[in-house]
């Protein structure tokens, strides 16, 4: 017979007591390297009017100076954001937290998982980083993506989750 027993609020697990796993240490450098490419492209684009118009483009504040000023927080943001991301692998689910200003915590029960994949970009491969995407029933696109895992860790998690999914199917 189906039972749905009430749980007292005091008996719920405390999120702060979980042992959060951090993302790969090279993930910050990987994000900064990608952002450096963006900044260099923006600098080139901002210098173009000066080069093409032979100095006829006059402004009180040069565009390239604005790009440099904005580049500092843009390049520094990964140092703030990445340490605030983490994941926990539990017996029945995987939990991921992220966010500096707007924080979110996502829990995906293994019995809802339909597909798991790992992927990486050329930047990711350069730094030995991979992304884990978890797709759930009824979801459109990846319901959870954990970017910044080590290659081996991402593959281990993918296999572990698939084994958990297989075990939950066999138990039904």
Same-domain status, 71 and 90: no
| Statement to judge: residues 90 and 150 lie in one domain | yes
pLDDT at 172 over 70: no
Whether 22 maps to a domain, the answer reads no
Residues 93 and 67 in one domain: no
**Across all residues in the chain, what is the average pLDDT?**
88
Q: How does pLDDT run across 28-85, given as a tens digit for each residue?
A: 999 999 999 999 998 888 877 776 766 555 666 777 788 889 999 999 999 999 999 9
- Decide if 21 is inside a domain: no
DSSP the chain: --------GGGSPPGGGS-PBPPPTTHHHHHHHHHHHHHHHHHHHHHHHHHHTTT----SS-HHHHHHHHHHHHHHHHHHHGGG-EEEE-SSEEEEEE-SSS-EEEEEEGGGEEEEEEE--HHHHHHTEEEEEEEETT-SS-SEEEEEEEHHHHHHHHHHHHHHHHHHHHT-
How many independent structural domains does the chain possess?
2
Task: Looking at the structure, tell me whether residues 38 and 106 fall in a common domain.
Answer: no
Domain of 46, in residue numbers: 27-81
The CATH number that applies at residue 131 is 2.30.29.30
**Residue 139 and residue 97 in one domain:** yes
């Amino acid at each position: 017979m189906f039972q749905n027993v009430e749980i007292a609020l005091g008996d719920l697990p405390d999120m702060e007591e979980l042992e959060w796993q951090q993302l790969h240490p090279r993930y910050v450098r990987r994000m900064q390297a990608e952002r450096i490419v963006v900044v260099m492209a923006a600098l080139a684009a901002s210098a173009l009017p000066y080069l093409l118009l032979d100095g006829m483009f006059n402004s009180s504040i040069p565009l390239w100076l604005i790009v440099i000023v904005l580049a500092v927080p843009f390049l520094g943001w990964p140092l703030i954001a990445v340490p605030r991301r983490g994941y926990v692998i539990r017996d029945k689910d995987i939990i991921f937290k992220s966010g500096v200003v707007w924080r979110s915590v996502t829990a995906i029960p293994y019995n809802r998982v339909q597909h798991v994949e790992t992927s990486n970009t050329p930047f990711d491969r350069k730094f030995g980083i991979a992304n884990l995407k978890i797709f759930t029933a009824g979801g459109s696109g990846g319901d959870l993506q954990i970017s910044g895992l080590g290659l081996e860790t991402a593959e281990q998690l993918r296999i572990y989750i698939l084994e958990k999914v297989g075990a939950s199917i066999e138990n039904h």
